Amino acid sequence: MTERLYSGPIIDAHHHLWDLTMGRHKWLMPSGGEVEALGGLDALRTNYLVEDFRADSARQRVVGSVHIEALWDRDDLVGETRWLETLDKSDNIASRYIANAGLGTPGAAAVLEEQASFPRVVGVREILSWHPDPKRSFATRSDIAEDPAWRADLALLPQHGLIFELMMYPYQAAMVSDLARRYPQLQFVVNHCGSPIDRDADGMQRWRDGLVTISQHENVALKISNMAAYDKDRTEDSLRAVAMHCLDCFGVARTMLATDYPVARLQMTYDAIYENFKQIFAPLSQDEQSALFHDNAARMYRFDEAV
């Protein structure tokens, strides 16, 4: 079979937008506190709007994209959705949303119901990424997903027709596997390759084993997004190794490709991300490539539905 680089339509299944003049993203403020795992955030401390995403993606055939909640202040989580609704949708940029409902907090059920009332909201996300080194943790607790109140809110998602997205580290693999087993009617989507954060031999084995564990559940899908995160080398071989283990675990049918822009700008340009994707997955058939670059995201995020 002759290898052929993908040239078809793309849905970027994971990116963020923000307007810092609104003062709603405290983690991006100089005094907001940095997560060491991300590195310095100076490059992100500027507005990133539809026109910025459009400029970054101009050389790729992006026909739609999914906005993922960007740690908007928790005192008005629906405010992010209302703001997104005001943005230009003429070229399908940020035309579907994964929102935040503050699962496990008082009033989360009401927030979830309000978020679900927006047709473009197709799911909610939680960040479960806890690391033994506090400087590398996003989550404040290692056991958030074991909290009964949190699980009670999670159980409400299917009745609203929403999927559940999450960030995790390999340390959470057993917990995520347990969630997928307990809630078989809920579609889970793991972000960022399951975050291979520890790049020594033991850490990479922990990550590989973790992906194998969670991939056993058919209701779990994976996004190969920001695959260069935590990778100081960022060589063709290191990127390919991560991407191909993801694909080996989840298969073409349960894998989507995405950028995590502009956060991924800390490591790679938008074009570099997609050019790497095209090279890595060139050995696949055109139908398989279409599934990864476009079709799976179109189905998962209901791009065929009028809103």
Domain limits for position 18 = 10-300
Q: Domain tally for the chain?
A: 1
Taking the C-alpha atoms of residue 168 and residue 197, their distance in angstroms, rounded to an integer, is 10
3-state secondary structure of 124: strand
Taking the C-alpha atoms of residue 155 and residue 145, their distance in angstroms, rounded to an integer, is 12
CATH of the domain at 168: 3.20.20.140
**What local confidence, expressed as pLDDT, does residue 38 receive?**
72
In a domain, 4, yes or no: no
In a domain, 2, yes or no: no
DSSP code, position 48: B
Count of helices and strands (H, E) across the chain:
10, 8
**What local confidence, expressed as pLDDT, does residue 31 receive?**
67
In a domain, 102, yes or no: yes
In a domain, 5, yes or no: no
In a domain, 43, yes or no: yes
In a domain, 3, yes or no: no
pTM of the model: 0.96
In a domain, 1, yes or no: no
Q: Structure tokens of 4?
A: 């052929």
Residue by residue, pLDDT tens for the chain (307 residues) are 578 999 999 999 999 999 999 999 999 988 655 566 676 788 899 999 999 999 999 999 999 999 999 999 999 999 999 999 999 999 999 999 999 999 999 999 999 999 999 999 999 999 999 999 999 999 999 999 999 999 999 999 999 999 999 999 999 999 999 999 999 999 999 999 999 999 999 999 999 999 999 999 999 999 999 999 999 889 999 999 999 999 999 999 999 999 999 999 999 999 999 999 999 999 999 999 999 999 999 999 999 998 8
3-state secondary structure of 99: strand
Taking the C-alpha atoms of residue 14 and residue 35, their distance in angstroms, rounded to an integer, is 20
In a domain, 262, yes or no: yes
**What local confidence, expressed as pLDDT, does residue 35 receive?**
60
**What local confidence, expressed as pLDDT, does residue 34 receive?**
52
Strand partners of residue 165: 125, 189
Taking the C-alpha atoms of residue 180 and residue 288, their distance in angstroms, rounded to an integer, is 26
